[in-house]
Amino acid sequence: MRFIDRESEIQEMTRMPQKASSRISLYALACFNLLLDVWLRIRFVPSRADKWYHPQWWDDSLYHRLSEEPGWYALLLLVNLAAFFFIIKRGRIIDLPTLLIIAGSVRLTSFLARVSLGDAVDYEMPGWFFEYGREFAEGNYPAMEYPQIALLFFTLIYKLSAGRLEAFVLLFPLLQIPFELVTVSCIYKVGEREGSPFFGSVCAAFYATSPFTLTFWFCKYDSIPTAFLLLSIYLFAKDKFIASALATSAGFVSKWLPALVTPVFILNLLKSRRYRAALEYTIAFIVGLVVLLIPFWLISPEKFVYTYQFHAKRTITAESFFFIPSYFLEPSLRKTAEITPWDPIRPSPISVRTAVMLQALFIGAILIVFALLPPKRERSIAFAALAVVAFILLNRIFSPQFMLFILGAYLASFSATIRSRKALLFFISSLGFLTLANFIVWPTFASYWFLGSFILFSLAWTLWFFILCANLKPNVLP
């Protein structure tokens, strides 16, 4: 497969205006996804009278009831892939306002469907997020595993909800929609900035309409650090290095993972002999961290350190990549019906030290390879994304909501560096199967969750090496 088409084709696709057929296809796709979602809720959610934020969320979960009927998921996936096949074959740019309208409408309508038809939420929202916000609002720094910006967000929602749980679980997802729109915009703008608005628009459209990731902004918190990650990538592409560094600092304080782009970006500036820009980026990143973290340290050094100690002590879980070799090495782990994905692996044939060492070596190898390549901004975006994704895939704790990071990073890297519609079709199709496999592990938690996990990591690594190889070839980047 060629990773780049003829230069004349690239220029032609770049100049192509949008056509109504592409927009209509996306609107139709969004409507189909939502109508199927609503119909399934009407069919499977037991009672509209049930409190949709009931703590016994698992018994009332739509996804749990559908876990043994995978045909619905297959239909949803095939319709979405068919729509993107048509859009890619048409080769027309979709404008950003259209994408933002679709992304916002999909999320708001899905939210209203959940509220009106009755559906449960992850227990973390009423059980942990609400209580953390309440405690901090009352002047106490809670001992919690979430980073500091997360605590500020929980407290803000608590304040806006006037301390009422019913209002908290409504506002929590609503206030994350703007961050999702930032992610869509940044994916689009990265492609536009790197001379490929068509590829950027298709990648942004996939994030905007992906039916298997909606639950992660609704019940979780990861849309916020994902937005900071994509914002830092876009600002770097725009040569706004200080702003990019500050966005990365905010990303670190919201969930650490976005900070992995920092060494790649600094290396790019150094190899490009932009020493002043590299110094400004480094100083801005450090200053941003100090300004954001020092207030929490001053409130309570013990509670501040607890967050980092908590994660340092965590063991390998069954959701992680390391469960796959463990499954084949340890016979007792093959009884997956008795194991939930979030359980620690016991007994574990792979030690935590081995997992951490492999993770560190892999990230180091990425930086070495990048340092040996000619400095190109497009390539730095791709390698920054690869560093983030590699860290997630090799992390001893893998949570399905990390799919937002993986999607955002992959889509940004692809829109920045790849210029083949065949490669784009392969990439989007793989991401469709990848998101469904992730969805099977959680929230569906089907009996075949290990198969979903195996497919998830297999596809994720396939795409990882696909992007790596594309950026190693000398003729990939124009």
DSSP character string of 340-362 = -TTSB-SS-SS-HHHHHHHHHHH
Which of 410, 414, 417, 413 is CA-nearest to residue 435?
A: 410
Percentage of the residues of the chain whose pLDDT score is greater than 70: 87
pLDDT band at residue 379 under the 50/70/90 scheme: very high
Burial class (CB in 10 A: 0-12, 13-18, 19+), 332: exposed
pLDDT at 120 over 90: no
pLDDT at 57 over 80: no
Residue 322 lies in a domain: no
Chain segment 451-468, per-residue pLDDT in tens: 999 999 999 999 999 999
pLDDT at 53 over 90: no
pLDDT value at residue 195: 84
Q: Contact 455/437 with Cβ under 8 angstroms? A: yes
Residue 339 lies in a domain: no
Distance (Å) of CA 193 to CA 142, 157, 200: 42, 35, 9
Top mean pLDDT of 3-7, 32-36, 99-103, 330-334 is at 99-103
pLDDT band at residue 204 under the 50/70/90 scheme: very high
Which of 240, 244, 207 is CA-nearest to residue 427?
A: 207
Tally Cβ neighbours within 10 Å of residue 300: 14
Tally Cβ neighbours within 10 Å of residue 66: 17
pLDDT at 3 over 90: no
Domain count, the chain: 1
Residue 330 lies in a domain: no
**Rounded average pLDDT over 419-447:** 91
**Directed axis angle between helix 403-417 and helix 421-439, to 10°?**
180
pLDDT at 307 over 60: yes
DSSP character string of 67-115 = TT-THHHHHHHHHHHHHHHHHHHHT-PPPHHHHHHHHHHHHHHHHHHHH
Residue 80 structure tokens: 């979405």
pLDDT at 56 over 80: no
pLDDT band at residue 55 under the 50/70/90 scheme: very low
pLDDT at 287 over 60: yes
The residue with greater pLDDT, 478 or 33, is: 33
pLDDT value at residue 216: 86
pLDDT at 329 over 80: yes
3-state class percentages of the chain: helix first, strand second, coil last, to nearest 5? 75, 0, 25
pLDDT at 374 over 50: yes
Residue 19 structure tokens: 């056509």
Domain limits at 220?
A: 7-314+351-472
What is the residue type of 465?
Answer: F
Q: How far apart are CA 22 and CA 25, in angstroms?
A: 5
Residue 71 lies in a domain: yes
Q: Which residues contact 60 (CB under 8 A, 6 or more apart)?
A: 45, 46, 50, 54, 118, 119, 120
pLDDT band at residue 475 under the 50/70/90 scheme: very low
Residue 196 lies in a domain: yes
pLDDT at 155 over 80: yes
Across 117-126, 219-228, 326-335, least confident range: 117-126
Residue 204 lies in a domain: yes
Residue 345 lies in a domain: no
Percentage of the residues of the chain whose pLDDT score is greater than 90: 66
Q: How far apart are CA 405 and CA 401, in angstroms?
A: 8
Claim: this prediction has a pTM higher than 0.85: yes
What is the residue type of 22?
Answer: S
pLDDT at 19 over 60: no
Q: Contact 210/389 with Cβ under 8 angstroms? A: no
What DSSP designation does 442 have?
I
Burial class (CB in 10 A: 0-12, 13-18, 19+), 328: exposed
pLDDT band at residue 437 under the 50/70/90 scheme: very high
Q: How far apart are CA 85 and CA 180, in angstroms?
A: 24
Query: For 256-259, which contacts have Cβ atoms below 8 Å and span 24 or more sequence positions?
Result: 256/147, 256/225, 257/225, 257/229, 257/388, 257/391, 257/392, 257/405, 258/225, 258/228, 258/229, 258/232, 258/388, 259/285
Residue 327 lies in a domain: no
Average pLDDT over the chain, rounded to an integer: 87
pLDDT at 446 over 90: no
